[in-house]
Amino acid sequence: MEKKDLLRYLYHDGILIEEHSDFKLGLKSLDEALKYEISSYIGKEHLVYQYFFSNQKKSVDFYNTIYNEIKPQNILSEIISYRNSVKNIIMAYRLCENNEDVLVFKSNMLKQNQYEIDRLETAYIQGKKELIQFTKSELNTDVDIADSVLKIDRKLSKQYLEYIKSYAYSTNLLEILIYYIVMRKNQINQIKSIYYLNEVCDE
């Protein structure tokens, strides 16, 4: 499919509400439509909305503050904890690739309760080989020493999507909304990949 035809296809397939000739505007309309839809269900002040759509700078402190507020809500904290745990491991591989000091690693850690932070820190200090063992142990994901950081990122992102899919038939509204948000955001990323790279990310 030619790039010029992609937006037309997305519009006629019902993914875009309005037909656009500019790709960035088309993507922005998807983002805005998703934000509006979620806010109509739970409002813009809800922690779930803030976590995914806040206009504030998305710093480690921002995410950790939200996690602390969500933590008493056992249902939500489990989902956010898993998301943060995967993000931490992906971040560890990226920093390890750049030979960043362990203090940089520690300052970027997101709060979660899936594993002991000290164990991931030890694996980080020991290098990629130990990070791979940690990943296999904690996430049961098949990563290899020869895998690039990008390939590992895609594998772990795919693992996270599989986890989220387990909430597709939940009877809890907030769990369903998080599932929906993540899958829609993934769809938008896939569209970007098709347009810019002419490929579909393996996620």
162 and 178 share a domain?
no
What is the arithmetic mean of pLDDT over 178-185?
93
pLDDT in tens, 27-60: 677 788 899 999 999 999 999 999 999 887 778 9
Considering the domain architecture, whether residues 79 and 162 belong to the same structural domain is answered as yes
What gap in Å lies between CA 7 and CA 26, rounded to an integer?
7
Does a structural domain hold residue 146? yes
Band (pLDDT 50/70/90 cuts) for residue 100 is: very high
- Dist. CA 186–CA 182, nearest whole Å: 6
Q: Is the domain of 107 the same as that of 10? A: no
Q: Are residues 128 and 186 in the same domain?
A: no
Residues 81 and 122 in one domain: yes
Range of the domain at 30: 1-42+173-203
When mean pLDDT is compared across 10-24, 122-136, 165-179, the lowest value belongs to 10-24
Confidence of residue 102 (pLDDT cuts 50, 70, 90): very high
Asked whether the beta carbons of 118 and 128 are under 8 A apart, the reply is no
102 and 3 in a common domain: no
39: closest CA among 170, 161, 177?
177
* Residue 198 reports pLDDT greater than 80: no
Do 81 and 102 sit in the same domain of this protein? yes
Residue 202 pLDDT grade (very low, low, confident, very high; cuts 50, 70, 90) = very low
Give residue 32's pLDDT: 85
The whole-number pLDDT of residue 203 equals: 46
Shared-domain flag, residues 72 and 156: yes
Paired tokens of 156: 């772990």
Report the mean per-residue pLDDT for the chain. Answer: 85
Q: Please check whether residue 113 lies inside any domain of the structure.
A: yes
Number of domains, the chain: 2
Q: What is the percentage of the chain residues whose pLDDT exceeds 70?
A: 80
For 69, other C-beta atoms within 10 Å of its C-beta total 14
Q: For residue 186, what are its two tokens?
A: 């993934």
Of 51-55, 85-89, 90-94, the range with the lowest mean pLDDT is 51-55
pLDDT digits (tens, 9 = 90+) for 128-157: 999 999 999 998 888 999 999 999 999 999
Is 24 part of any domain?
Answer: yes
User: Does the pLDDT value for residue 78 go beyond 60?
Assistant: yes
Residue-level pLDDT at 115: 93
The residue that leads in pLDDT, 11 or 145, is 145
Instruction: For residue 116, count CB atoms less than 10 angstroms from its CB and return exposed for 0-12, middle for 13-18, buried for 19 or more.
Output: exposed
What residue type is assigned to position 102 of the chain? Answer: V
